[in-house]
Amino acid sequence: MSVGQSRTATAPDGTEIYFETQGDPARPAIFLGPHFYATRSADDDARTDIWIDLLRQDFFLIVADYPRGLGRTPHPQGFAYTPDIAAQEYGCIADAVGVDHFGWVGYSFGGAMGVQVACRTERVTALAVGGFPPLNAPFQLMIDIARQMIKDPPPLPKFIDPGVLNSTLAFYTPLATWPERREITKLTIPRLVFMGEEDGAQEASQSGPLADNLRSVEDELRVLGWQIRWLEGHDHASAQRPEVSLPVVHRFFREALLS
């Protein structure tokens, strides 16, 4: 497992948010948002170490135990959590690191999170959204799935506080009425969305019909300046594998932040 420099950032209420940094701080910074975490199990589905080992060759990486209630960050905010709080607290982490701006890559929930951080701050320099459509996002479906998970909780790794499920519902709930198209059209930074072509064939799955949602706005996103990379033969789970999507993301950030 890659071992980085361990630090904490202090949130406005005094909670210490745990994070690690990897690589040369003189290089452009990139946040590895959810589903990448500083604390992870040996069978980490995201294969975070592989992502870190490649990206830190060119970039200064930040990976946190966040949202709260993950790993070594305590005090999940539950139903009090909001996208504005998320953007504010990621800013606290960046301030603790000492970086004003950063790229972002996140997958699924982390993709949705990255869109919100980019739209609610001016700190994101390049945005890579995996496994989630940045426009025509199925927020109501995500709300319904989160409610079902709270009602019938799935087995969770020991480093995830069950309160995170409530935070997830609270994060998505205000987005059902968020002026998505108006806010997305304001983004001018380099933007990439990558997704498995077979993502979300069954609405009963936790992924939802994500590929269909993206296809319906693909032309509009391209006009707005988004790069779209379809990962042939892959679904929501397999598209996050580093051998599948990491080369696409690495190339995007090299072009966006190093050219």
CA distance 157 to 144: 22
State pLDDT tens for residues 193-230. Answer: 999 999 985 444 454 689 999 999 999 999 999 999 99
State pLDDT tens for residues 62-84. Answer: 999 999 999 999 999 999 999 99
CB 104 within 8 A of CB 33: yes
Model pLDDT, residue 205: 46
Q: Quick check: 1 pLDDT over 60? A: no
CA distance 100 to 122: 9
Domains identified in the chain, total number: 1
**What SS3 string covers the chain?**
CCCCEEEEEECCCCCEEEEEEECCCCCCEEEECCCCCCCCCCCCCCCHHHHHHHHCCCCEEEEECCCCCECCCCCCCHHHCCHHHHHHHHHHHHHHHCCCCEEEEEECHHHHHHHHHHHHCCCEEEEEEECCCCCCCCHHHHHHHHHHHHHCCCCCCCCECCHHHHHHHHHHHHHHHCCHHHHHCCCCCCEEEEEECCCCCCCCCCCCCHHHHHHHCHHHHHHHCEEEEEECCCCCCHHHCHHHHHHHHHHHHHHHHHC
Residues of the domain holding 31: 5-258
Residue 177, domain CATH = 3.40.50.1820
State pLDDT tens for residues 108-155. Answer: 999 999 999 999 999 999 999 999 999 999 999 999 999 999 999 989
